[in-house]
A and B are shown apart, each in its own frame.
Chain A
């Protein structure tokens, strides 16, 4: 990776709390790391786990989800729904080898511009330490590996007189 690598974080903010808080942080001229790209949703309950996976797959180094404090959801309980999904997703991400710090759920009310600033800065720091996640690059590497492997197998087969190929054909015929 180049020296100038900076983490890219996709943030899904609830329209009523965290998005407003981010607005407030802006109005209050607070400075937070510019690495975050915010996507506004009406509610943290709208955050489909696929969005998080898609963001990571497309090259995000971290995902931040901001919702209202428990009990304060504009839509009564959307944030609780998000919390449940988040817990399940975390287990899955762990199995996939994605570190805990990369995906974060925070409750930030409309008044907490200061907290937006703190959380984003904190998260950028953590992700910076972890280094790039680089899933798209990994995809490329894996594809390449597969291609190399296929080429390797083909070469081997050609070398050994296609023993495997004829065997396969026989098995298919027997099955039919």
Chain B
């Protein structure tokens, strides 16, 4: 521990700290342009210069590179320090007259105008001094007439943060310094577009003057990372909160886009995290948990509207899925609840197309059950948010639920239009002037009896529910069955609606078939209760149809042993006969049918019983 005095204030601190860190911790503001949590001190901008008195000598030193020492007396804002800083600002402004940061700094520190000749040939004045018009007539000093490669209009102060960040932190090394003195500049090797740059944007985001234009480093538009939860309506960073109500509410790192997983570098988030909660070495873990029963609630997949190309999803930007509109009307969504189209306009008329991927022989035959109600809800919210004209195109309104039909009635009163008929297509082909620039919905109005063309600004597709893409794998995993649509099959539609064909495996929610939230909650409760029954009872009931050995007849040929998929058959060496473990036997009877000497029998399905059955069923014509 060392003691030092900063601006007359006595401070005790650890000796590994620098003066800048100590001053900042003490609430003393020392301006800097080149210090960053992820970069070691470098002292290139010189702004953090302070007056240090030690052992009777006074010197000027950059505080970021100055380790604290016993008995130091430091002045951070003495007249001598300020004078140097003013000169520095003026010099930098001459390089970078457009930099907002430098202009602010100049105003703050009291630099009335920039007296230095400008170097790089920038045309626009810096606005710091009122005599700027003179600047235009000043002799330019383009050092060698070279075009600036990566530095844009606002100018580089050669602090080197970008170079150090790209090289030391991101471990890419796409940038470097070139030349000396007046010719020194930041650029890519050979001033060619860099092939190593990964367009992470670290250089341009750390640049204090905002000078770096990423497109000049690598002429490739950086690809935004679409936010999954916002369905691509907004972008996210590699480290992000998966969704607002995530449990646990902690950010996650996407290894596919995080620079650390590409180069091993960066870790800027780790440097910034005050509680050091970020660990890039964490790995995905597969945890094996022993359980007695399983509730399968794997949910559904929404219908991909690209399978109905005649509705123009993915072709016309203003055709949305209902889920996307759900994000648009949400107050915590990408637009903060404001319904605006992809081109920034507010829609004046909106068409909601029901049964997209439902009740349709071309796609899915079944009714998805929830679309009518969510379409009504969206219609209500859109009406509230936009005051637009709303059209619902439906085949049948299916509102069979508690107070559902009343809600439909309410919407009818609100003036939402309901047109009965399956929409033929959505097109941008205008036939009349009022259809210009709009999306035209072509539909046969089956109540009015003619084909209508309805121009709207926005089309919402009420997409249906489908089984998950990997439903077949899950089904095999749990030895369940699927219905013809691909939803999991219950053991009995009325008597065992949450059971499956495998004991101890239960179903809940839309993995069994399309259903809304109240129904899902009710079913999940039933499934949980069924699972609890097994747990509470403490024992399981087995089917009685197990196989057994007729010992006096068994020849000990062992041919049955390899047949049993449950390894329930063992060979009794002492007796030289097969033995069946009835706890393991599931009662399929494969061994019974295969025993060459007929010395295995199955309870409930004895050979004699089956033969009698055959006799019985053939006893009549």
Establish whether residues A10 and B618, one from each chain, have CB atoms under 8 Å apart when the complex forms.
yes
CB contact under 8 A between A16 and B501, given known A8-B621, A58-B614, A77-B565: yes
Contacts of A42 in B (CB 8 A): 545, 587-589, 602, 605
A127 at the A/B interface (Cβ < 8 Å)?
no
B586 at the A/B interface (Cβ < 8 Å)?
yes
Report the bound CA distance from A75 to B479 in whole Å.
9
Contacts of B605 in A (CB 8 A): 41-42, 46
- Proximity string of chain B (601-621) to chain A, C-beta cutoff 8 Å, 1 when within and 0 when not: 010010100110111011001
- Proximity string of chain A (36-50) to chain B, C-beta cutoff 8 Å, 1 when within and 0 when not: 010101110111111
Report the bound CA distance from A85 to B594 in whole Å.
9
B484's partner among A43, A85, A111 (CB-CB below 8 A) is A111
Establish whether residues A75 and B586, one from each chain, have CB atoms under 8 Å apart when the complex forms.
yes
B613, closest chain A residue (CB): A39
Establish whether residues B587 and A6, one from each chain, have CB atoms under 8 Å apart when the complex forms.
no
Establish whether residues B590 and A46, one from each chain, have CB atoms under 8 Å apart when the complex forms.
yes
Report the bound CA distance from A60 to B592 in whole Å.
23
Establish whether residues A110 and B588, one from each chain, have CB atoms under 8 Å apart when the complex forms.
no
Interfacial residues of chain B within 567-614, with CB under 8 A of chain A in the complex: 586-590, 592-594, 602, 605, 607, 610-611, 613-614
B325 at the A/B interface (Cβ < 8 Å)?
no
B482 at the A/B interface (Cβ < 8 Å)?
yes
Establish whether residues A111 and B489, one from each chain, have CB atoms under 8 Å apart when the complex forms.
yes
CB contact under 8 A between A45 and B590, given known A17-B481, A110-B481, A111-B483: yes
A51's partner among B479, B481, B587, B610 (CB-CB below 8 A) is B610
Residue picked from B481, B483, B614, most chain A C-beta under 10 Å = B614
Interfacial residues of chain A within 25-40, with CB under 8 A of chain B in the complex: 27, 37, 39
A37's partner among B482, B594, B617 (CB-CB below 8 A) is B617
Give min CB distance, B69 to chain A, whole Å: 76
B493, closest chain A residue (CB): A27
Establish whether residues A74 and B479, one from each chain, have CB atoms under 8 Å apart when the complex forms.
yes
B563 at the A/B interface (Cβ < 8 Å)?
yes
A54's partner among B501, B611, B621 (CB-CB below 8 A) is B611
Contacts of B617 in A (CB 8 A): 10, 37, 39
Report the bound CA distance from A58 to B616 in whole Å.
10
A71 at the A/B interface (Cβ < 8 Å)?
yes
Report the bound CA distance from A60 to B620 in whole Å.
11
Establish whether residues A46 and B481, one from each chain, have CB atoms under 8 Å apart when the complex forms.
no
CB contact under 8 A between A37 and B589, given known A51-B611, A110-B501, A112-B484: no
A96 at the A/B interface (Cβ < 8 Å)?
no
Give min CB distance, A118 to chain B, whole Å: 13
Report the bound CA distance from A77 to B610 in whole Å.
22
Establish whether residues B618 and A60, one from each chain, have CB atoms under 8 Å apart when the complex forms.
yes
Contacts of B592 in A (CB 8 A): 46, 48
- Proximity string of chain A (118-147) to chain B, C-beta cutoff 8 Å, 1 when within and 0 when not: 000000000000000000000000000000
Establish whether residues B483 and A78, one from each chain, have CB atoms under 8 Å apart when the complex forms.
no
Report the bound CA distance from A89 to B617 in whole Å.
22
A152 at the A/B interface (Cβ < 8 Å)?
no
A163 at the A/B interface (Cβ < 8 Å)?
no
Give min CB distance, A93 to chain B, whole Å: 16
Establish whether residues B588 and A111, one from each chain, have CB atoms under 8 Å apart when the complex forms.
no
Establish whether residues B593 and A48, one from each chain, have CB atoms under 8 Å apart when the complex forms.
yes
Contacts of A54 in B (CB 8 A): 611, 614
- Proximity string of chain B (532-570) to chain A, C-beta cutoff 8 Å, 1 when within and 0 when not: 000000000000010000000000000000010110000
Contacts of A17 in B (CB 8 A): 481
A12, closest chain B residue (CB): B610
Report the bound CA distance from A60 to B616 in whole Å.
12
Report the bound CA distance from A27 to B481 in whole Å.
17
Give min CB distance, A102 to chain B, whole Å: 14
Establish whether residues A81 and B618, one from each chain, have CB atoms under 8 Å apart when the complex forms.
no
CB contact under 8 A between A55 and B618, given known A16-B481, A74-B479, A111-B481: yes
A11, closest chain B residue (CB): B617
Give min CB distance, B39 to chain A, whole Å: 58
B476 at the A/B interface (Cβ < 8 Å)?
yes
Contacts of B589 in A (CB 8 A): 41-43, 45-46, 78
A72 at the A/B interface (Cβ < 8 Å)?
yes
Establish whether residues A43 and B588, one from each chain, have CB atoms under 8 Å apart when the complex forms.
yes
A165 at the A/B interface (Cβ < 8 Å)?
no
Residue picked from B566, B589, B607, most chain A C-beta under 10 Å = B589
Residue picked from A16, A42, A43, most chain B C-beta under 10 Å = A42
B610, closest chain A residue (CB): A51
Contacts of B587 in A (CB 8 A): 42
Contacts of B621 in A (CB 8 A): 6, 8
Interfacial residues of chain B within 476-498, with CB under 8 A of chain A in the complex: 476, 479, 481-484, 489, 493
Establish whether residues A75 and B614, one from each chain, have CB atoms under 8 Å apart when the complex forms.
no
- Proximity string of chain B (350-372) to chain A, C-beta cutoff 8 Å, 1 when within and 0 when not: 00000000000000000000000
B475, closest chain A residue (CB): A72
- Proximity string of chain B (289-319) to chain A, C-beta cutoff 8 Å, 1 when within and 0 when not: 0000000000000000000000000000000
Establish whether residues A37 and B481, one from each chain, have CB atoms under 8 Å apart when the complex forms.
no
Report the bound CA distance from A139 to B457 in whole Å.
82
Give min CB distance, A5 to chain B, whole Å: 8
Contacts of A171 in B (CB 8 A): none
Contacts of B593 in A (CB 8 A): 45-49, 81, 85
- Proximity string of chain A (11-25) to chain B, C-beta cutoff 8 Å, 1 when within and 0 when not: 000001100100000
Contacts of B482 in A (CB 8 A): 109, 111
Establish whether residues B590 and A8, one from each chain, have CB atoms under 8 Å apart when the complex forms.
no
B615, closest chain A residue (CB): A58
Q: List 30 A-B contacts (CB under 8 A).
A: A8-B618, A10-B617, A17-B481, A20-B501, A42-B587, A42-B602, A43-B588, A45-B588, A45-B589, A45-B590, A45-B593, A46-B593, A48-B610, A51-B611, A54-B614, A58-B618, A60-B614, A60-B618, A71-B476, A72-B476, A74-B502, A75-B586, A77-B565, A78-B565, A78-B589, A81-B594, A85-B593, A110-B501, A111-B481, A111-B484
Instruction: List 5 additional contacts besides A42-B588, A74-B501, A74-B588; criterion CB under 8 Å.
Output: A37-B618, A46-B605, A54-B611, A72-B476, A110-B501
* Across the A-B interface, the 4 shortest Cβ-Cβ residue pairs: A46-B589, A45-B590, A75-B588, A37-B617
